[in-house]
């Protein structure tokens, strides 16, 4: 048995393969139209790869290795497949001269070769990556929560929309999302791991936004890793807590666990960038192109994040494995075990 795989008891998909593909299109079209309306976002195209050694590619937790290759017709320069577009989007906002209160979104397709493969994680990542210009007075927790509520409302509408077409699926998202800080989670459940805390609280509330991911907690470890150079996770947001970022997570009864749909946050400014580079021991990144543009004041203040496309479809269609939504590759043992339990991976 694959240790990373969860097999729901007596699992049977609610939709066949043909209806699943139709439903995926409905979800994606409906969600992105409503997201762009709620956050005032313009759709843009995005790169699949960027030049190495510029700091533009997202290094996620700081340890994942991107897929790279050399371009023969450009003197063999090295480029990398994107891992996300957190930094590229901010540079694009500057190039487009986007004003405060406006933003962009795009389809982000990435390859993450270091991913541990399970029900929720694939080598292939597809997100709606979005970024919006903000003013200095909006760099606060109140504004972050307001944006989270707007995104969560779009998720609820999307769930109800797909339930209309496929009555076998019943809406389960609660009316409101609950905000909770990682420091409170640690205080409430000091004996549990971060993932166990997420499971308990998601099951209790149905939908939560976990604030403050990246800064060390009292035990000396962060709730989860965050790179030092995109989300602002070290700024005291209200005099007590640290962090102007977080994750939207919901309870997923099919797998009986917490289910992350989005990671987002207010981005670093020059001051918080330098503070976080020092905290993470990443001062060598200060000299990279992206970081120099930010330190010189050439990039706008922004808020942004990523919303998993396959994740949202998986949740709305009550699938047991992300491979029922997207076409990827999986270990042979996982393929066999899934097929034996009515989980048909594309």
* 178 exposure class (CB count in 10 Å sphere: 0-12, 13-18, 19+): middle
Q: Name the residue with tokens 């048995």.
A: 1
**Pairwise CA distance, residues 178 & 155, whole Å:** 15
CATH superfamily label, 17-340: Bira Bifunctional Protein; Domain 2 (3.30.930.10)
Q: Among all chains, which residue has been given the structure tokens 């493969």?
A: 117
Question: Which of the 8 DSSP states describes residue 117?
Answer: P
Q: Could you tell me where the DSSP H helices lie in the chain?
A: 17-39, 86-96, 141-165, 182-188, 194-205, 270-280, 289-295, 309-316, 332-340
Average pLDDT of the chain? 92
What does the pLDDT average to over 154-159?
Answer: 98
Phi (first) and psi of residue 293, to 5 degrees: -60, -40
Give the least confident one: 179-183, 255-259, 280-284: 280-284
216 has a pLDDT exceeding 60 = yes
DSSP letter, residue 239: S
The pLDDT score that the predictor gives to residue 158 is 98
Q: Which tens digit of pLDDT belongs to each residue from 157-201?
A: 999 999 999 999 999 999 999 999 999 999 999 999 999 999 999
* Per-residue tokens: 33: 């139209």
pLDDT tens digit sequence for 57-96: 766 555 567 888 888 888 888 888 887 788 889 989 999 9
Provide the pLDDT for residue 63.
58
Cα–Cα–Cα angle for 48, 61, 230, rounded to 5 degrees: 70
Q: Which residue has the tokens 């240790």?
A: 3
CA 149-151-156 angle, to 5 degrees, is 90
Give whole-number Cα distances, 202 to 250, 251, 257, 281, in Å: 6, 5, 8, 33
Rounded CA-CA distance 306/314 in Å is 16
Which of 229, 201, 234, 240 is CA-nearest to residue 216?
A: 234
Report the catalytic residues: 58, 112, 127, 247, 260, 263
pLDDT at 103: 97
**Three-state SS for 328?**
coil
Give 110's pLDDT tier (boundaries 50, 70, 90). Answer: confident
Smallest CA-to-CA distance from 297 within 278, 273, 264, 281 is with 273
* The pLDDT of residue 226: 87
Q: Is the pLDDT of residue 53 over 80?
A: no
Query: Would you kindly state where each structural domain of the chain is located, as residue ranges?
Result: 17-340
pTM: 0.92
pLDDT number for residue 72: 87
């Amino acid at each position: 048995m694959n240790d990373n795989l969860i097999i729901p008891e007596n699992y049977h998909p609610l939709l066949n393969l043909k209806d699943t593909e139709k439903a995926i299109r409905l979800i994606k079209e409906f969600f992105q139209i409503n997201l762009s309306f709620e956050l005032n976002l313009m759709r843009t195209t995005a790169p699949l790869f960027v030049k190495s050694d510029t700091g533009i590619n997202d290094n996620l937790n700081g340890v994942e290795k991107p897929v790279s290759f050399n371009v023969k017709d450009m003197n063999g320069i090295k480029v990398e497949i994107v891992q996300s577009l957190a930094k590229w989007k901010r540079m694009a906002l500057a190039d487009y001269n986007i004003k405060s209160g406006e933003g962009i979104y795009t389809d982000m397709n990435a390859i993450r070769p270091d991913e541990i493969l399970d029900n929720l994680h694939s080598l292939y990542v597809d997100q709606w990556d979005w970024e919006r210009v903000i003013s200095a007075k909006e760099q606060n927790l109140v504004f972050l929560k307001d944006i989270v509520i707007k995104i969560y409302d779009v998720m609820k509408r999307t769930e109800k929309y797909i339930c209309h077409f496929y009555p076998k699926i019943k809406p389960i998202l609660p009316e409101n999302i609950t905000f909770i800080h990682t420091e409170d989670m640690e205080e409430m459940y000091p004996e549990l791991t971060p993932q166990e805390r997420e499971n308990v609280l998601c099951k209790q509330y149905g939908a939560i936004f976990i604030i403050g991911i990246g800064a060390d907690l009292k035990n000396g470890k962060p709730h989860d890793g965050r790179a030092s150079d995109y989300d602002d996770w070290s700024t005291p947001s209200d005099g007590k807590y640290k962090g102007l970022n977080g994750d939207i997570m919901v309870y997923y009864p099919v797998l009986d666990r917490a289910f992350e749909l989005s990671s987002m946050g207010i981005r670093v400014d020059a001051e918080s960038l330098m503070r976080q580079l020092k905290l993470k021991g990443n001062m060598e990144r200060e000299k990279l192109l992206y970081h120099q543009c930010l330190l010189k004041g050439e990039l706008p203040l922004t808020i942004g994040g990523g919303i998993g496309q396959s994740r949202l479809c998986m949740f709305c269609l009550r699938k047991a494995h992300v491979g029922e939504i997207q076409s990827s590759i999986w270990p042979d043992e996982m393929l066999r075990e899934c097929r034996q339990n009515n989980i048909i991976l594309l």
